[in-house]
Amino acid sequence: MLTSDYHLIAGIIVGLAVAAPIGPVNIICIQKAVRKGFISAFIVGLGAAFGDSLFGAIAALGLTVVTDFVSIHTSWFEGLGAAVLLLMGWLSWRAHPHLSDPVPSAGDMLRGLAGTFMLTITNPMTALGFIALFAGMGLSRDLNRPEVATLVAGVFTGSGLWWLFISRLASAFRGRLADKHLVYINRGSAAMIWIFAGVAAVRALT
């Protein structure tokens, strides 16, 4: 019988494994860190952590009706994700940030959190990845509610630790930048986000 410590540690490992690969949310988080600072970037990352936790709960509870729906409608989810990425890339390209910009309001941070949450839950590969990772670690069946709660808490912790790390690391370079560097970072981030959008769009259409 697996212990609660195992479920917590396994959840942390899975959360880190899902969050760490460089994708659009990582790009957005780094961009926020150099533009707005650590707190703004970390809040954006937490949006992805909440999305990861939702998928972790679905996979842990064995909600096959949900995972089957995601599998059947993969193209729809990828198309929606592509649209979200295109919008984020456009907003990033148009922005003209300054290091002297005021500290983001709570509303700005919540919008950033909601955006990355939406981006995470419209990625069907994340849901299927959780199912595969849980199965590979022997976590795919017969979990009771406390075990599910512990596992999901671990996923959120692991994902949150990654966003804490990447936000702190990226924000450390903020003091070395000038306004013109922020424009370059914005344009580069927008281009990379559009590449991810293009990949998602191609997958949705094939």
Q: Which of 150, 194, 164 is nearest to 6 (CA)?
A: 150
Count each helix (H run) and each strand (E run) in the chain, helices first: 9, 0
Q: How far is CA 14 from CA 6, 50, 52, in A?
A: 12, 14, 10
CB neighbourhood size of 64 (10 A)? 11
Give the pLDDT means over successive 10-residue stretches in the chain (206 positions).
76 86 82 87 95 87 63 71 76 66 71 90 76 69 79 94 93 76 72 78 79
Handedness of CA 41, 46, 47, 48 (dihedral sign): positive
Eight-class DSSP state of 139:
-
Q: For residue 20, which of 31, 10, 12, 8 has the smallest C-alpha distance?
A: 12
In this predicted structure, what is the pLDDT of residue 164?
96
- Model confidence pLDDT, tens digit, residues 78-106: 777 678 778 777 877 776 665 555 556 77
145 C-beta neighbours (distance < 10 Å), count: 9
